[in-house]
Amino acid sequence: MKIHRIRVPSATGKYEVVCGSGVLRGAAREIARLGKFSSVHVVSSPKAWRAVGKLVPRRFGLLGAAAVHLFHDAESGKTLASVEQIARSLVRAGADRRALVVAVGGGMVGDVAGFAAASYLRGIALVHVPTTLLAQVDSAIGGKTGVNLPEGKNLVGAFYSPSLVLSDFLMLRSLPDREFRGGLAEVIKYGVIADKQLFAYLEAGMEKILRRDAGALEYLIPRCAEIKARVVGADEHESGQRETLNFGHTFGHALESVTNYRVYQHGEAVAWGMMAAALLGYVAGITPEADAARILALTRRLGALPPWPKVAPAKLIAAMRADKKARAGKIRFVLSPRIGQARSYDGISAEILQRVLQLGPALLAHLGAASAL
């Protein structure tokens, strides 16, 4: 069993992402290296716990069995009410300032449990055990926590780094196909923004990857974690380079918001968002036609997505203006001047954006990827 250890710089000290098949067998040893805790509290969802709970150790080192706290993990449950529910459950279980929260689940569980850990008693220790591909390659790394408001996604939260991330590839065996494909959207994102060789690997081997080939996962998950660690290490609080991690997310978050978080899984919204960003970049003269076509073609190979919503462009634009990346009312888009690179842009004209929102969805839905431009 090969174990990958990726160090992530943080203002509160470095932490490790430990990933590989079966890493949870050594969870007690890894957590013992962090120090002594008064109690351990697993925070998960009924769905995630049913799927992977048997793989998670009940004991961590010399401590007794961990308390388990469950909350509803649908995107519609990513709210301050869920944070309150977790916090009150921790109080009833006797969690003090030396307690440890172990977040077991996908990105939504990690975001909410992380925010609960950040705010409970003004911050207690946190370990992430991501159980989805999306969480293992992206959301569990970098210290972003938060919840949604009706007005937009992730508008309330905190930067709060975990002490450790344990990514066990065995967790992905029980992952529904739809969630796995959604996670691959984030993997494609890393190729677009930072690694043209990774992008080419995905183009050459997408069918094998969709079958969850062990060798492919052994390469993809650590590579994405390395990119995320490098980017957040250089810009922990998203004041510059870290914004590139949001390629496709300005559109994607708007799609989630206008459909009340009930239509798309996050990765599906990001997939639509990346295709829209590729089209926007092309129309704006930023993304070369050949590169935009490659982004469209690869993303479409993920499979069918829930359809683009039948909403007016003005409603999507209003949602984009509420996005946390907006500055002084200006919408900021992460676009790719070439595969392997990305930058933030806030000078995209309203006319170009309107054109893409009016014509783009029909093009993307009905034309072949190679001819969509």
DSSP letter (8 states) at residue 136: I
To the query of whether residue 72 is one of the catalytic residues in this protein, the response is no
CB under 8 Å to 315, separation ≥6 — which residues? 258
Match 């869920």 to its residue by tokens. 82
The packing angle between helices 313-321 and 350-366, to 10°, is 120
To the query of whether residue 249 is one of the catalytic residues in this protein, the response is yes
Q: Which of 30, 186, 226, 236 is catalytic?
A: 186
Q: Does an H or E element contain 164, and which?
A: strand 164-168
Q: Which of 41, 69, 144, 153 is catalytic?
A: 144
DSSP letter (8 states) at residue 287: S
To the query of whether residue 242 is one of the catalytic residues in this protein, the response is yes
Q: Which of 2, 54, 122, 366 is catalytic?
A: 122
Q: Which of 266, 294, 300, 332 is catalytic?
A: 266
Q: Which of 78, 153, 242, 332 is catalytic?
A: 242
How many residues make up the chain in this entry? Answer: 373
Quote the CA–CA distance of 165 and 102 in Å, as a whole number. 10
CB under 8 Å to 184, separation ≥6 — which residues? 133, 209, 210, 267, 302
Q: Which of 41, 181, 189, 253 is catalytic?
A: 253
Collapsed DSSP state (helix, strand, coil) of residue 221:
helix
To the query of whether residue 238 is one of the catalytic residues in this protein, the response is yes
Q: Which of 69, 128, 153, 228 is catalytic?
A: 228
Q: Which of 16, 30, 236, 238 is catalytic?
A: 238
To the query of whether residue 266 is one of the catalytic residues in this protein, the response is yes
CB under 8 Å to 295, separation ≥6 — which residues? 188, 192, 274, 275, 278, 287, 336, 339
Q: Which of 249, 300, 325, 332 is catalytic?
A: 249
To the query of whether residue 246 is one of the catalytic residues in this protein, the response is yes
Quote the CA–CA distance of 136 and 232 in Å, as a whole number. 15
To the query of whether residue 186 is one of the catalytic residues in this protein, the response is yes
Q: Which of 226, 246, 256, 325 is catalytic?
A: 246
Strands (E), 50-131: 67-70, 100-105, 125-130
The residues that are catalytic are: 122, 144, 186, 228, 238, 242, 246, 249, 253, 266
